[in-house]
Amino acid sequence: MSANKPGGASARQGEGRGVTPRSLDYSTWYTDVVTKAELADYSPVRGTMVIRPYGYALWENIQKDLDRRFKETGHQNAYFPLFIPQSFLQKEAEHVEGFSPELAVVTHAGGKELEEPLVVRPTSETIINHMFSKWIQSHRDLPLLINQWANVVRWELRPRLFLRTTEFLWQEGHTAHASEPEAREEVLRILQLYRDFVQDMMAIPVVPGRKSDSEKFAGAVETFTIEAMMGDKRALQAGTSHYLGQNFAKAFGTQFQNENNELDFVHQTSWGVSTRLVGGVIMAHGDDKGLRLPPHIAPIQVVIVPFIRSDEDRARVLPIIDQIRQALPQIRFQVDDRPSLSPGFKFNEWEMKGVPLRMEIGPRDLDKNQIVLARRDTGEKEFVDLDRATHALPDLLEQIQAGLWEQALAFREANTRTVETYEEFKAQLDEVGGFFLAHWDGTPETEAKIKEETRATIRCIPLDSPQEPGRCMVTGEPSKQRVLIARAY
């Protein structure tokens, strides 16, 4: 964003308007924050959104760090077509069944009916397997580690900005391996990579685990997930990693000659995160003033608001600002010297946009050899000696990052409960909500009963939880360990 860019018509019209309090209507609060912080807006096509520059800058920071992590683990970026022959999806029965209700299909193009309908990419396992079957011939071609940054289309009946949209942005990794152990190792490596990213960069604690068979990805042998708690105590699936086994390889004939000169099918994985993460950071950290962004991913880490009333003030203040910025090239600064807007308006706007730290500086501050720093996470103000500014700014940003993590972790821990009976679970789910650890007998029938009667789902079978024999809270049948259950987005 340009330092001289006006607030725009929407910003000026919204002066003095806050957001709907979370306690009054969480859903409306969320939409207010997305639109008033200028992250995204509704498009003319139902279910789709326009990601505005500030929102896209946030996504770019997410993308940039994840892309670095993928490349450090040996993955390469590629790009595959948006259009997929419909017959490709039909080759893997479970896959096509799982995605059929969400598909957008092109039947006419170039002024005539197509010989074969084309599916607009809902995910790329099929088209990528078609290409893998051409590229992979020998064990020497393995492992093949590919990632794609792309858009996908899944026809969404109940759209919500960033959380569920008909078109969204994501990355999807696709890998092929010579053996099952290698592929499974990749699945868990990526799950850990996602976990590290979301916790270290987004300051959101997650629960890693395995999805139940009913909740796994269509066509996968197993699906692993990281589940995060949002500010209304609902769960958000923040990322998934799938072991596909040889299902797609057999459907597309993706074979290789192994070290014994025998033909074998590759073992595959796929994994992805999407712009849903933007929704996650809003709901995990936002408050009644708007966004609170973790510094590690914030498009603007420090906004500088100078107090300038004359050319003399400008001549004194701006050179000091330039010195601080030049001394800290690692920090993403924004100077808001828009002359037509009051300091109070600027403060409110940058609070709404969740900028972690605000720096105030004017002639009176220079007379006292100080700057004023205001934290977005706590609202606290601190007067800092000017000669300490270059040390104080990076330190405070790290404190804010850590503070947001600690708050989110404490919130999750305070709202995670262990329950023994179905009656106890239902009562607490309606009364206080949150995450519940309970025994489940492992049957799809019991899982479906819970979902139908409570609108809660088994989010995952946690990987970090110990084996703890018990009795299913619904049926009383034996259970090996507790599962995580919650209402979710």
pLDDT digits (tens, 9 = 90+) for 189-220: 999 999 999 999 999 999 999 999 999 999 99
**Could you give the CA distance from residue 33 to residue 289 in angstroms, rounded to a whole number?**
9
Q: How far apart are CA 246 and CA 176, in angstroms?
A: 10
Distances (CA, A) of 88 to 96, 124, 144, 168: 9, 10, 21, 22
Q: Which long-range contacts (CB under 8 A, 24 or more apart) does 40-48 make?
A: 40/161, 40/162, 42/161, 45/166, 46/159, 46/166, 47/155, 47/156, 47/159, 47/165, 47/166, 47/167, 48/159, 48/165, 48/166, 48/167
Domain 416-486 bears CATH identifier 3.90.1720.10: no
Q: What amino acid occupies position 59?
A: W
Burial label for 38, CB within 10 Å (0-12, 13-18, 19+), is: buried
Residue 462's CB: how many other CB atoms inside 10 A?
18
User: What is the crossing angle of helices 180-200 and 53-72, to 10°?
Assistant: 140
Tell me if the bond preceding 21 is cis, omega within 30° of 0.
no
Annotated domain spans of the chain: 18-285, 302-407, 416-486
What tokens does 213 get?
């068979």
Rounded CA separation 288/328 (Å)? 31
CB 486 within 8 A of CB 415: no
Residue 254's SS3 state is coil
Distance CA 451, CA 313 (A): 64
What is the spatial distance between Cα 320 and Cα 342, in angstroms, rounded to a whole number? Answer: 21
Domain 18-285 CATH assignment equals 3.30.110.30: no
Task: Fold for 302-407, please state it.
Answer: Rossmann fold (3.40.50)
Q: Which two tokens stand for residue 89?
A: 């999806």
Q: How many angstroms separate the CA atoms of 361 and 489, rounded?
A: 42
Local confidence pLDDT in tens for the 489 residues of the chain:
333 333 333 333 333 468 999 999 999 999 999 999 999 999 999 999 999 999 999 999 999 999 999 999 999 999 999 999 999 988 876 777 778 888 999 999 999 999 999 999 999 999 999 999 999 999 999 999 999 999 999 998 889 999 999 999 999 999 999 999 999 999 999 999 999 999 999 999 999 999 999 999 999 999 999 999 999 999 999 999 999 999 999 999 999 999 999 999 999 999 999 999 999 999 999 999 999 999 999 999 999 999 999 999 999 999 999 999 999 999 999 999 999 999 999 999 999 999 999 999 999 999 999 999 999 999 999 999 999 999 999 999 999 999 999 999 999 999 999 999 999 999 999 999 999 999 999 999 999 999 999 999 999 999 998 889 999 999 999 999 999 999 999
